[in-house]
Amino acid sequence: MRSLKRAVLSIGCLFAFAVSAFGQSDLQKIMQERKLTEQDVLAAAKTYQPSGRKDEFIVFSSGGQSGQVIVYGVPSMRIYKYIGVFTPEPWQGYGFDNESKAVLAEGRIHGKDITWGDTHHPNFTEKNGEYVGDYLFINDKANPRVAVINLKDFETTQIVVNPIIKSEHGGSFVTPNTEYVIEASQYAAPLDDLWHPIEEYEAVYRGAVTLWKFDYASGRIDVNKSFSLELPPYMQDLSDAGKGISMGWAFTNSFNSEMYTGGIEKGLPPMEAGMSRNDTDYLHIYNWQILEKLAKDSKNYKIYNNHKVITIEAAVKAGALFLIPESKSPHGVDVTPDGRYIIVGGKLDTHVSVYDFKKIKELIDKKEFASKDPYGIPVLDMKKTLHGQVELGLGPLHSSFDSKDGIVYTSLYVDSQVVRWDYKSLKVLDRINVHYNIGHLDTMEGKSAKPIGKYAIALDKLSIDRFNPIGPLHPQNHQLIDINGAKMDLLYDLPIGLGEPHDVVSIQASKLSPAVTYKMGTNSRTGKQHPAMTLAGQERVERDGKNVKIYMTAVRSHLNPEHIEVQKDDNVTIYLTNLERAQDETHGFAIDNYNVHMSAEPGKTASITFIADREGVFPYYCTEFCSALHLEMFGYLYVKDPNKKYESAKKMQLQTLSPQALETEYQKILATNKATDEVIGSVVKFLTEKGYEKYPKIKEQVVDALDQYSKIKEVKDKADAAYKAKDLNSAILWEYQVWQYLVKTADVGLRAKNNLVRELSTPMSPAATRGEVAYLEGGCNGCHVIGQVSSGPDITGALLRHEKGEEWIFSFIKDPAKHYEEEYVKALINYFNLRMPNQNMKDSEIKDIIEYMKWIDENAGLN
């Protein structure tokens, strides 16, 4: 009852909204103490999100070697989630429950589990080149794979393994209407998956680009409709899809036109020397719309590992593949929002090159080629295709665009800078230092056809001295930059302590519409109803030989069943359905010592399978702190050896309660339940009278509360029946279960009431707000509880209880002793056995408190 009373009291104080009232002087004091400049405070003001405030943009970051995706908000840079993708992630049960194991199993390579990934480039589904935000793709550089993440629940639903290449880098880039997800190889290798000596490098080793077909209807990549294009062993690198005027084309650069193969161990110059010998490498230009047609005729492709690979020859013949020289060891390739220009950065060049697609297309149409490469691919003249080159600084890598026409931001790895420049006029406009050695950078929706700009995020590879030292392995540093003004402004450093995130994509939060709960019984990995969905009353154990299936439910705060008996070496599957409909009421499930865990969000059905190979008694429990009685949410798995004879232990004789004592306890819990029910009654009355139904969020809470309440009848009947049968012990236990439901109802109901009062109350004036602070800081609430008589009188209506109320109250607070002899005050002192003390309030504070009291009176009806 205690906690409930406290809850009721806190409703009494519901006018106590959080208020921060730093005066100017306080701010300056803190700035001095913390050595903050005005610039710092401005940066804080631009990024800080007060409690409850939502971010404008959501950023999806690759998790590097963690094989995961990191989700955070801009401008706050608060981290929201790590999505398990290529790597098991226990919180989400990813890789521990059967449903997600099936997803990870899709990522096996030739039957081998690959439980890590090197994620590099996340990208959204697109429509007309703009971000849609219903799916996210991400590639694994180490083990050439692409994963699909459903943004309805931020869960990974599919992994596809590239059938022909051994490593990749240029994925996952999306064509303007999500027709294909592009994945380009990195290190050339034989496509036939057999041994070939390095001497056969030019003859047999190949690169490739795979065009994964995305099927929108199923939300999955259709492996059968996907195909690849064979490419020379030039070490293909990053890619981007054309759009607008370059729609249908895609671009992939490379860094080994030398076809150098190294041999440091044989005394030959290393790879790095041989591969940066030529002044230029090749930008690959290919048309996926033509390739799509070629893939329909078997004379154009070879089959490797059941996968169509269009030959270089066929692509060249059809006019679908060209090369253009690009500056030494290029890295990033980014198509401008209108699709007209292609910007290529060079790791070993101080320039970026801006290619003009119009010029490229003219040369292609005129069949004006400068030469052919050794594989017969037409090479266009570099100069004739360039719009121009701009000297930006050392190590330009990646580019991202602004909403302003022609404005682009490029990262400089060696110089540790972000440069703002104009790709049309080829002028450098501004630069800012970052810390340190930036790889990718991203402006908001900056790689879409409609960039928003506003902020840039610098993905710095090294953080060196920026954070507290935490050992030799340093976090990466994601820096938020304000790009609205004429000068770029550094706002925030976010240490990323999970792998080396190569790239991020950002999207307006308003474009995402994730579900709050699942439809009851959903298998989240398929989006379909789980065949083992278990509703209340359907809980059961099914045994078929050594296979035992347990259909379990979870709801605050019990798992059903609470005892499971199996025999040693049984093959056990537990299907768990979370029956909750309330937002954020997730239950987790683990069995001690058995290495199983699942997360069941409201409505989800998940399952685990294991061999019960160890005899014993194993507690299982809910792993999310889901309610006050979360610790009680557990049960026992008994694993018994069928080949063993067990001797039963002697029963201990415990003292039992006398019938009178039981009756007393029974009456006590009855009274408690009655009192609790009355509180609920008053809350429900309040909610109904004040029209809670008009407020959807509050209505949701009331529905949840009543859902708990509706469970009482059945339990109460059991209690009554037990009492009738003179089984007092059971009657008492069932009454306690009634109390559980009552408390849960009251808990949610009071939360709903609190929120409703906030909706209905009039806004506080600044004076009243200050007054509340003075009231709380002065400790007035120690004796006065609003809406209640406690150790002092209720201050509601106090202003009205006196003639010239404001004047009297002012004088009374200022100098209470002056009034001690007044009849009214004397009576109060007698009644409460307390005197109102002098709190030494300033006049201004007293005035503010009076304003606060007026506001209380105005809203008294809501109490």
Cα 319 from chain centroid (whole Å): 43
By CB under 6 A, which span of 183-191, 204-212, 619-627, 706-714 interacts with ligand CUA? 619-627
Q: Which of residues 320-339 bind ligand CUK (CB under 6 A)?
A: 331
Q: Which of residues 432-461 bind ligand CUK (CB under 6 A)?
A: 439-440
Residue 630 makes contact with ligand CUA by CB under 6 A: yes
Residue 581 makes contact with ligand CUA by CB under 6 A: no
Compute CA distances 386 → 325, 382, 398, 653, whole Å: 10, 6, 18, 93
In angstroms, what is the minimal distance from the CB of 555 to ligand CUA?
8
- Rounded CA-CA distance 138/124 in Å is 9
Give whichever of 481 and 705 is closer to ligand CUA, judged by the CB atom.
Answer: 705
In angstroms, what is the minimal distance from the CB of 81 to ligand CUK?
22
Residue 624 makes contact with ligand CUA by CB under 6 A: yes
Determine contact, residues 274/264, Cβ cutoff 8 Å.
Answer: no
Q: What is the DSSP string of 808-841?
A: HHHHHHH-GGGGTTSHHHHHHHHHHT--PPP---
Candidates 284, 420, 502, 847: give the one binding ligand CUK (CB under 6 A). 502
Task: Show the site string, 585-614: x = touches ligand CUA by CB under 6 A, - = not.
Answer: --x---------------------------
**Partner touching 604 among ligand CUK, ligand CUA, none, CB below 5 to 8 Å by kind:** none
Residue with tokens 């989630």: 81
- Rounded CA-CA distance 623/649 in Å is 32
Q: Which residues contact 197 (CB under 8 A, 6 or more apart)?
A: none
**Partner touching 454 among ligand CUA, ligand CUK, none, CB below 5 to 8 Å by kind:** none
Determine contact, residues 578/71, Cβ cutoff 8 Å.
Answer: no
**Partner touching 347 among ligand CUK, ligand CUA, none, CB below 5 to 8 Å by kind:** none
Cα 608 from chain centroid (whole Å): 24
| Run of H or E residues at 519 | none
- Rounded CA-CA distance 707/745 in Å is 8
Give whichever of 478 and 558 is closer to ligand CUA, judged by the CB atom.
Answer: 558
Q: What is the DSSP string of 430-481?
A: EEEE-SS-EEEEEEETTTSSS--EEEEEEEES--TTSS---SSSPPEEEEEE
Q: Which of residues 537-556 bind ligand CUA (CB under 6 A)?
A: 554
Give whichever of 170 and 771 is closer to ligand CUK, judged by the CB atom.
Answer: 170
- Rounded CA-CA distance 228/211 in Å is 6
φ/ψ (deg, to 5) at 499: 70, 180
Q: Which of residues 157-196 bind ligand CUK (CB under 6 A)?
A: 169
Q: Which residues contact 658 (CB under 8 A, 6 or more apart)?
A: none
**Partner touching 626 among ligand CUK, ligand CUA, none, CB below 5 to 8 Å by kind:** ligand CUA
Task: Show the site string, 402-441: x = touches ligand CUA by CB under 6 A, - = not.
Answer: ----------------------------------------
* CB-neighbour burial class of residue 346 (10 A; exposed 0-12, middle 13-18, buried 19+): buried
- Rounded CA-CA distance 792/586 in Å is 42
Residue 626 makes contact with ligand CUA by CB under 6 A: yes
Give whichever of 230 and 624 is closer to ligand CUA, judged by the CB atom.
Answer: 624
Residue 622 makes contact with ligand CUA by CB under 6 A: yes
Q: Which residues contact 260 (CB under 8 A, 6 or more apart)?
A: 271, 274, 275, 277
- Among 78, 19, 75, 18, residue whose Cα is nearest residue 42: 75
In angstroms, what is the minimal distance from the CB of 587 to ligand CUA?
4
Q: Which of residues 390-409 bind ligand CUK (CB under 6 A)?
A: 397-398
| Run of H or E residues at 665 | helix 659-689
In angstroms, what is the minimal distance from the CB of 169 to ligand CUK?
6
Q: Which of residues 791-830 bind ligand CUK (CB under 6 A)?
A: none
- Among 261, 431, 413, 420, residue whose Cα is nearest residue 346: 413
Residue 744 makes contact with ligand CUK by CB under 6 A: no
Other C-beta atoms within 10 Å of 197: how many?
7
SS3 129: coil
Give whichever of 120 and 454 is closer to ligand CUK, judged by the CB atom.
Answer: 120
In angstroms, what is the minimal distance from the CB of 120 to ligand CUK?
4
Candidates 608, 633, 748, 786: give the one binding ligand CUA (CB under 6 A). 633
- Rounded CA-CA distance 550/664 in Å is 39
In angstroms, what is the minimal distance from the CB of 614 to ligand CUK?
44
- Among 13, 2, 7, 180, residue whose Cα is nearest residue 787: 13
Give whichever of 360 and 552 is closer to ligand CUA, judged by the CB atom.
Answer: 552
**Partner touching 502 among ligand CUA, ligand CUK, none, CB below 5 to 8 Å by kind:** ligand CUK
- Rounded CA-CA distance 782/799 in Å is 20
Total residues in contact with ligand CUK, by rule CB under 6 A: 11
- Rounded CA-CA distance 103/172 in Å is 18
By CB under 6 A, which span of 487-495, 513-521, 621-629, 685-693 interacts with ligand CUA? 621-629
SS3 482: strand
**Partner touching 331 among ligand CUK, ligand CUA, none, CB below 5 to 8 Å by kind:** ligand CUK
Q: What angle do CA 91, 518, 71 make, to 5 degrees?
A: 45
Total residues in contact with ligand CUA, by rule CB under 6 A: 8
In angstroms, what is the minimal distance from the CB of 626 to ligand CUA?
3
In angstroms, what is the minimal distance from the CB of 654 to ligand CUA?
29
In angstroms, what is the minimal distance from the CB of 745 to ligand CUA?
17
Both ends of the chain: CA-CA distance in Å?
21
- Among 175, 426, 191, 213, residue whose Cα is nearest residue 304: 191
Residue 101 makes contact with ligand CUK by CB under 6 A: no
SS3 856: helix
Give whichever of 206 and 331 is closer to ligand CUK, judged by the CB atom.
Answer: 331
Cα 272 from chain centroid (whole Å): 39
In angstroms, what is the minimal distance from the CB of 347 to ligand CUK?
9
**Partner touching 397 among ligand CUK, ligand CUA, none, CB below 5 to 8 Å by kind:** ligand CUK
In angstroms, what is the minimal distance from the CB of 580 to ligand CUA?
9
In angstroms, what is the minimal distance from the CB of 461 to ligand CUK?
7
Q: Which of residues 111-130 bind ligand CUK (CB under 6 A)?
A: 120-121
Give whichever of 308 and 502 is closer to ligand CUK, judged by the CB atom.
Answer: 502
Candidates 11, 238, 386, 684: give the one binding ligand CUK (CB under 6 A). 238
Residue 503 makes contact with ligand CUK by CB under 6 A: yes
Cis (ω within 30 of 0) for the bond into 561?
yes
**Partner touching 402 among ligand CUK, ligand CUA, none, CB below 5 to 8 Å by kind:** none
In angstroms, what is the minimal distance from the CB of 281 to ligand CUK?
15
- Rounded CA-CA distance 463/479 in Å is 10
Residue 478 makes contact with ligand CUK by CB under 6 A: no
**Partner touching 439 among ligand CUA, ligand CUK, none, CB below 5 to 8 Å by kind:** ligand CUK
**In the β-sheet with 563-567, what is the strand arrangement from edge to edge?**
563-567, 634-640, 616-621, 587-591, 596-600
Paired residues of 172 in beta bridges: none
Residue 772 makes contact with ligand CUA by CB under 6 A: no
Give whichever of 436 and 741 is closer to ligand CUK, judged by the CB atom.
Answer: 436
- Rounded CA-CA distance 350/153 in Å is 43
Q: Residues in the site for ligand CUA, rule: CB under 6 A?
A: 554, 587, 622, 624-626, 630, 633
Q: Residues in the site for ligand CUK, rule: CB under 6 A?
A: 120-121, 169, 238, 331, 397-398, 439-440, 502-503
